[in-house]
Amino acid sequence: MPHRHYCTYFDHRYLPIGLALHASLQRVGGEFTLWVLALDKEAGDFLSNSGLPDIRVVPLEALEAFDPELKATEGTRSRIEYYFTCSPCLPRYLLATQGMDAITYLDSDLSFFSSPEPLFEELGEQSVLITPHRFSGTAARTHAKFGRYNVGWLTFRSDVTGMACLDWWRERCIEWCFDRVELDRYADQKYLDHFEELFREVKPTAHPGANLAPWNVASQPVTMENGIVQVAGRPLIFFHFQGLRRVDNDTYDSNLTSYGARLTPALRDGVFRPYIADLRDARTVVSRHSTAHEEQNLRRAGLSRIRLTASHLWKTLRARIAGNLIGVQ
């Protein structure tokens, strides 16, 4: 099996989430290197001193020195928008400096449940692999404006087409990358809708077990077969845990309610509880070295404590009514 290169980014607030991603790759990912763009010094120091195998740290300063046009956008964008702008810049930096044949960008809130090799087989000799949202339920009506494709998994080969596509995406994000829908743009994501029309050798994955998520799980038959999570009869490769929120020490909100989906026994026991176990283990490890690791939604960082508390209470109530809370021991 080839050695695979993945990259992601997070700051100290998301250390447990990043470590849970790494743990899942260790279980099912074969030989790999996970390149982590450390978005602040605390995350970089922790990762550099952790001794975790298969992780390579990229300091934010190194990326900014390589790509000064990225750094020049920092003062014009919020923190989350600047992080979004890094999405194409990180894989471009790695392909240019590390001599690898291909790089796969991963959102940090993914977890792998079976080998990702079927996705590389699906890519074949093509240059770029992208993942559709496959919006279902109420999300098909409310979230289509955010784009047909999701940034969760993106593979780029270091060939002419792969690099041209990646360069184009970076240029667009340098020009405009904001956390709002405007015309035909949304953050770093809606640019992906143009990949196929602008570049040959772009492959959208058709695997139902790739990027299962709160926004598409309502239309996918998810079952447990001999202890293996299946999606439409094929193994779940990775789940995107967007919006998962800890309510208290023993309760989590799956965020399924936001998209009109329901928590089934297979999702609860085969997907969410194993991931939550990884998160809790990671939180324990991180807490030995740092107390400032609580996951925070940067989109809500500007809300007052009263508004934030009210929002959390309302979301928790809705999830409880829908049966979408997860209890853990």
- 132 part of a folded domain: yes
The pLDDT score that the predictor gives to residue 303 is 58
What is the span of the domain harbouring residue 95?
4-242+266-304
- 325 part of a folded domain: no
- 113 part of a folded domain: yes
Confidence of residue 312 (pLDDT cuts 50, 70, 90): confident
- 124 part of a folded domain: yes
Mean pLDDT of the 227-251 span: 96
Which CATH number does the domain housing residue 156 bear? Answer: 3.90.550.10
Q: What's the structural domain count of the chain?
A: 1
The pLDDT score that the predictor gives to residue 329 is 78
- 15 part of a folded domain: yes
The pLDDT score that the predictor gives to residue 305 is 76
The Cα 316–Cα 126 span in angstroms is: 44
pTM as predicted: 0.94
Q: Which residues of 66-85 are buried (b: 16+ CB within 10 A; e: fewer)?
A: bbeebbebeeebeebbbbbb
pLDDT tens digits for 139-192?
Answer: 888 999 999 999 999 999 999 999 999 999 999 999 999 999 998 999 999 999
- 255 part of a folded domain: no
Check if the beta carbon of residue 313 is closer than 8 Å to that of residue 320: no
The more confident residue out of 136 and 303 is 136
- 83 part of a folded domain: yes
- 14 part of a folded domain: yes
